Structure 1
Amino acid sequence: MARPRKSQKPLPPGRFGIPWLGETLAIIRSNHGFYKDRLEKYGPIFKTRLFGNSFVVFSGHEAFHVFATDERIVRGDADPISAEHIFLNSLALIDGPEHHVRKAVMLRAVGFRSAIASYLPRMQELFERTIDPWLETGTVVDARKDLQRFAARLTGALYTGDLSEEHAAEMDRHLANMREAFMTLPVPIPGTTYGRAIAGRKRMDEIIGDAIDAHAKGGYDDIVSRMIDAARGSDVPLDDLRGDVRHLIFAGQGGYFVPLTLTTMILGQHPDIMERARAEVLEISPDGPITMEQIERMEYLEQISKEVRRYFAMNSATFFGRVQEEMEVAGYRIPKGWGAMGGIHINMRNPDVFVDPDRFDPDRFQAVREAALPPGSYVPHGDGQATHHRCPGENIVTVAVKVYLTLLLRKVEWTIPAQDLTLTNELFPLPASGLTVNFRAHVPVAG
């Protein structure tokens, strides 16, 4: 039998760096800067070598959509050691039918409207507990720290059932250590940054295991109880939920406090956007409990939420995949066996899709304009079908940002005083200052 003819197309531009390590140290030193620098040098599709593997990075909406939907690229088997350790036994590292079934279980708990609606009262209560002291004092030092603690409290309310401040502090500490796993060499020596990350993951597994055991006996209505109900209805073993719950908790911690912090900063810098958002809030939900019906009517707040996730570098890249057979993308040959990933943030700075991409403009997501976006262009949570590798928390994060803004805009306006707003080199870059905010009561202008 004749051997398949190899494509004559060129490999993507880029460089492999030093033997085995390739450009691994460069991506550890500056996760987001790595993708930005290579986009400027080589264009939206480029090759590199990371962790001993040759990789191609897909960006540009057409190439990103191929990465997310083409069956010749299978997730798992190419992720760095840090991802394998932190996301051990989670669906982030598998593909195929098992992934889709377990993802459907997850969506029942965090993706469905009815589930999110049931969490709203607890979310509003915890937001008020976080922001009411801000409104009383007028100045907040390190809003990032307070919002990060809010996210840990929400984890207790929606996953473990432990509402104590001690529990929130412990969750906050372990999750922060786990994030650091991606910013250092993966050498699990006790007492080192990576050693603390692995210790944190192991402790989180104990907490989650206890929570699943308790929830399995009944008496809860939260994310874990809904996942257990969905798993029992689809024959997914409860043991499989442990890694998936850890994945949700890890992603949710950053998925809440990072956009909340950045939303606070950007609206403080754009009073015109703040006032337009306030007008919508006061028309639709001026006081009292916030409902899903009100949330769904707040179109401008949704535009802000989406533009925050497009504008800021919250996720640099997807989980990694492996090319199962040689393929061609945008005129380049991608060999079988290469690793593959989607460049998330650089993809959403594509001037061919987002005019003047360095400008913060929520009107990009007006319904008509959003509907005209090509597939693969707006991808802060990935791309493709919901039961595949698209992040299941997309809707609940949008709701959280809208609830947060509603509670603030009902009462106050704010400004951002002079401080170091340089974004840090963390997994999720945030202002170096932590974000100091000056609040004052909103006084309506007489008509």
Structure 2
Amino acid sequence: MTASKAAQKPLPPGRFGMPWLGETLAIIKNNHGFYKDRLAKYGPIFRTRLFGNSFVVFSGHEAFHVFATDPRIVRGDADPISAEQIFLNSLALIDGVEHHTRKAVMLRAVGYRSAIASYLPVMQELLEQTIDPWLEAGTGADLRADLQRYAARLTGALYTGDRTEEHAAELDVNLANMREAFMTLPLPLPGTKYGKAIASRKRVDEIIDEALRTHLAGGYDDIVSRMIVAATEADVPIENLRGDIRHLIFAGQGGYFVPLTLTTLVVGQHPDIMERARAEVREISPDGAITMEQIERMEYLEQISKEVRRYFAMNSATFFGRVQEDMEVAGYRIPKGWGAIGGIHINMRNPDVFPDPDRFDPDRFLPTREAALPPGSYVPHGDGQATHHRCPGENIVTVAVKVYLTLLLRRAEWSIPEQDLTLTNELFPLPASGLTVRFREHVAIAD
């Protein structure tokens, strides 16, 4: 379409709000609610003003796919200061050849089957340490806290080489502070949430710098050592890895404890799903070390893991982009220079693609049904090519959920007692109670 014809198209519906500030306070106050409310009011494509910039939010599978793959939308130069400071020097904020090169380095360490397989033993070991006290006591009083600490322990095992509990506790606190940066005004004053977030980011950088120094001396086989090898082969300076490792650690913390907590909740609420999953575990991996071959055969557990990421509001939106030239999407004019956002969670509640979207149904991801999904529809980790802006941790998160469910289903069944299950208003919404679960030993009935 020519620029003159595009100029005749209407702007997307929506409102800009106050000068400069626009709707910034609304998105800080309720990140997920912001997108949900405007989807209901304006439809899947709408305009807004955030942090002094005019933006278009893309949802609906066709528009989201355009956002993720059209070269006229370039990442970086549009993100809020909180993202720029927490993800400083990270590939999330750049595009082009450098991004693709550094992303390939990252994928070598967290995206490849061989790499993930090498992490399975420590993943299983640390999960068993987390789960055993629940099953011995018959309850997990605060699964969120326990699984959050598990994620911090795994970070120590896979990134820094420090497996002490003191190190895990320090990582846990600092990463929690960093998450708060996205839920408050970006005022970097001592004592404020944002000030603590920036201080914690600096401390995490110090931890990463020390890990890089020790790993360069050799003797490790983990994510950082694999990134060093891949970076050396690709002529990527080692100092450029700091921001990308920080990004992985930050995303991985939430990428583990959030889906594991929500998986426990929703499977506990659906005994039929629990027993169907247990039958698969008993057939494929009833005991012992869990292997990648077993993981890959667990089709129903994979369906559960994917439906958890569709159903729950884990990611509200992508990192932001910038429109490089006038374009037209779904009959709307998108002017050059506007910001662009992919609306992740609202996109996966599209009833045209996912009928009855408020129902939890792992069978949405039966292989034949998943193959029929249009591009841009199932996007918890983004869309497009792996070496572009799709999350590199997609496969390892799937494996983590499968390992976790396997270990639980081998030994226990569980239920969710009455408690406050209202999802919190935070970057990754979770039950307000922290999630209390009642466990009991599973007794197999003889055939």
* TM-score, scaled relative to structure 2: 0.99
Structure 2 portions without partners, runs of 5+: none
Taking only aligned residues, the RMSD between alpha carbons, in angstroms, comes to 0.9
The residue that corresponds to 1:170 in the other structure is 170
Residues 154-187 of structure 1 deviation map (CA, whole Å, 9 limit, x = unaligned): 0000000000000000000000000000000000
The correspondence of residues 126-165 of structure 1 with structure 2, limited to 5 A, is 126-165=126-165
Cα distance, 1:123 vs structure 2: 0.3
Aligned mates of 2:365, 2:71 — CA distance in 1: 30
The residue that corresponds to 1:392 in the other structure is 392
The residue that corresponds to 1:87 in the other structure is 87
Aligned mates of 1:102, 1:178 — CA distance in 2: 23
Aligned mates of 2:414, 2:17 — CA distance in 1: 47
The residue that corresponds to 2:24 in the other structure is 24
The residue that corresponds to 2:377 in the other structure is 377
Aligned mates of 1:141, 1:127 — CA distance in 2: 16
Specify the SS of the correspondent of 1:350.
coil
Change (3 A) 1:218 1:54: same
Which of 4-13 and 223-232 deviates more?
Answer: 4-13
Specify the SS of the correspondent of 2:7.
coil
Cα distance, 1:390 vs structure 2: 0.1
4+ long deviations beyond 4 Å: 2-6
Cα distance, 1:217 vs structure 2: 1.2
Code of the residue aligned with 1:371 in structure 2: it is: A
Code of the residue aligned with 1:49 in structure 2: it is: R
The residue that corresponds to 1:201 in the other structure is 201
Cα distance, 1:13 vs structure 2: 0.1
Cα distance, 1:446 vs structure 2: 3.5
Residues 20-73 of structure 1 deviation map (CA, whole Å, 9 limit, x = unaligned): 010000001100000000000000000000000000000000000000000000
The residue that corresponds to 2:442 in the other structure is 442
- Does 1:248 find its partner at 2:248? yes
Aligned mates of 2:33, 2:3 — CA distance in 1: 41
- Does 1:341 find its partner at 2:327? no
Code of the residue aligned with 1:311 in structure 2: it is: Y
Cα distance, 1:238 vs structure 2: 0.2
Aligned mates of 1:272, 1:15 — CA distance in 2: 45
Code of the residue aligned with 1:230 in structure 2: it is: A
Cα distance, 1:445 vs structure 2: 2.5
Code of the residue aligned with 1:393 in structure 2: it is: G
Aligned mates of 2:19, 2:297 — CA distance in 1: 55
The residue that corresponds to 2:422 in the other structure is 422
The residue that corresponds to 1:401 in the other structure is 401
Code of the residue aligned with 1:179 in structure 2: it is: R
Aligned mates of 1:375, 1:6 — CA distance in 2: 24
The residue that corresponds to 2:217 in the other structure is 217
Cα distance, 1:4 vs structure 2: 5.6
Percent of aligned positions that are identical: 84
The residue that corresponds to 1:34 in the other structure is 34
Specify the SS of the correspondent of 1:410.
helix
The correspondence of residues 247-286 of structure 1 with structure 2, limited to 5 A, is 247-286=247-286
Aligned mates of 1:306, 1:326 — CA distance in 2: 35
Cα distance, 1:122 vs structure 2: 0.4
Aligned length: 446
The residue that corresponds to 2:120 in the other structure is 120
Cα distance, 1:149 vs structure 2: 0.1
Code of the residue aligned with 1:18 in structure 2: it is: M
The residue that corresponds to 1:325 in the other structure is 325
Aligned mates of 2:112, 2:140 — CA distance in 1: 34
Aligned mates of 2:138, 2:237 — CA distance in 1: 50
Aligned mates of 1:417, 1:282 — CA distance in 2: 26
Structure 1 portions without partners, runs of 5+: none
